[in-house]
Amino acid sequence: MRVYNFSAGPSTLPLDVLEQAQREFLDFSGTGMSVTEISHRSKPFEAIAAEGEALLRELLNISEDYAVLFVQGGASTQFAAVPLNLMHKGRADYVVTGNFAKKAFQEAKLFGDAQKVASSEDKTYTYIPDVDAIPFREDTDYVHICANNTIFGTRYTRFPETKAPLVADMSSDILSRVIDVSKFGVIYAGAQKNLAPAGVTIVIARRDLIADPLPACPTMLRWKVQDENKSLYNTPPCFSIYMATLVLRRLKALGGIAEMQKVNEYKAGLLYDFIDASPFYTNGVVKEDRSIMNVPFVTPNAELDAKFIKEAAENGLVSLKGHRLVGGMRASIYNAMPVEGVQALIAFMKKFERENA
């Protein structure tokens, strides 16, 4: 039986996409072979990869000034690729709003003068610093932010205006809301939250910024090389790219990102409104900064949290355990989580509250 899966990542995928992949699994595009068995240089695979790139460009309105890359290594490899491609002066500013933002910052310190210019660590990352008051330094190569903080359930509702190119980790909110790509130098995202199975990472990078990677940058991490080779410098993660293309087709058919954003805001609104009205459940994030993708919450105590997670799973609502750094529960409600899944969660939360308050 399918359950409602609230996992933070890898995460639930649309049922119709999984069913299509299942139908096509033994015979992809009339080849008589699985998409996992054919050459990445074959016509059918090249077509699916090209379609994926074109759909991403269309859905996010990405101009030809930007490279759109499908690479490997996860967002965590991009923590190193960012400085290795961009840190010409050896200086970059980092805003540390969570665990992944901190990891990105620490990785950049391996390569140059990375500085933490603002942080919300003082209040266990329950807010986003005022973007207009961040003391960015003069003359840096870039500013790095994490757009949505998967573990702590915060997000930027407004992005900082920076002189240096803005680089954003959008692993857990890419394609969930309308963004203006032209405001960013680089956007990157591991696919396994909101797009596809683990294995592929999206990089959207302004071409003028990536022309000249640092001499020590490994070939595989050179965005310019990946761009020149249409992300086929070596064998790409074929199955994940294929799945990403199916998800992107579905997004387009559903009306694109603006439509997705509406549904996501509706889903998150249902859940936050219920939590805020309840004396039993609490979400500790500053309201303006709440993520519409990851919703952490707690009951009055840790024993009840554990009981909640166990009984929810028995009722077909799984992977609700919060990250070990935060505890409690976390409902990840990415694009692929239907409204019905959120409604079922709220119905269970009501019942649990009646029985345990």
Ligand X SMILES: *Cc1c(COP(=O)(O)O)cnc(C)c1O
- Of 14-22, 68-76, 300-308, 331-339, which segment contacts ligand X by CB under 6 A? 68-76
CB of 197 to ligand X, least distance (A): 11
**Binding region for ligand X (CB under 6 A) out of 117-125, 168-176, 246-254, 326-334:** 168-176
Residue number with CB closer to ligand X (169 or 289): 169
Residue 176 engages ligand X in binding (rule: CB under 6 A): no
Contact 275, 155 (CB under 8 A): no
267 binds ligand X (CB under 6 A): no
Closer to ligand X by CB, 68 or 349: give it.
Answer: 68
28 vs 144, which CB is nearer to ligand X? 144
- Give the interface segment with ligand X, choosing from 43-51, 69-77, 300-308, 325-333 (CB under 6 A): 69-77
Smaller CB separation from ligand X, 5 or 150: 150
Q: How many CA atoms lie within 13 A of 214 on its CB side?
A: 19
User: Which of 196, 232, 253, 250 lies closest to 74, judged by CA?
Assistant: 196
> Alpha helices, DSSP H only, in 198-338?
223-228, 238-253, 256-277, 302-314
Cβ of 215: how many Cβ atoms within 10 Å?
6
Answer yes or no: are the C-beta atoms of 187 and 165 closer than 8 Å: no
Binding mask 76-105 for ligand X (x = CB under 6 A): x-----------------------x-----
Residue 320: C-alpha distances to residues 125, 293, 323 (Å) = 20, 13, 9
Q: Are strands 166-169 and 186-190 parallel, antiparallel or unpaired?
A: parallel
Neighbours of 139 (CB within 10 A): 8
Structure tokens at 138: 């003069």
In whole angstroms, the minimum distance from the beta carbon of 224 to ligand X comes to 22
Residue nearest to ligand X (CB): 74
Is 75 a binder of ligand X (CB under 6 A)?
yes
Query: CA 346, 157, 286, 75: dihedral to nearest 10 degrees?
Result: 80
In the stretch 189-218, what mask flags binding to ligand X with x, by CB under 6 A?
Answer: -x--x-------------------------
Which residues make up the interface to ligand X (CB under 6 A)? 9, 74-76, 100, 146, 150, 169, 171-172, 190, 193
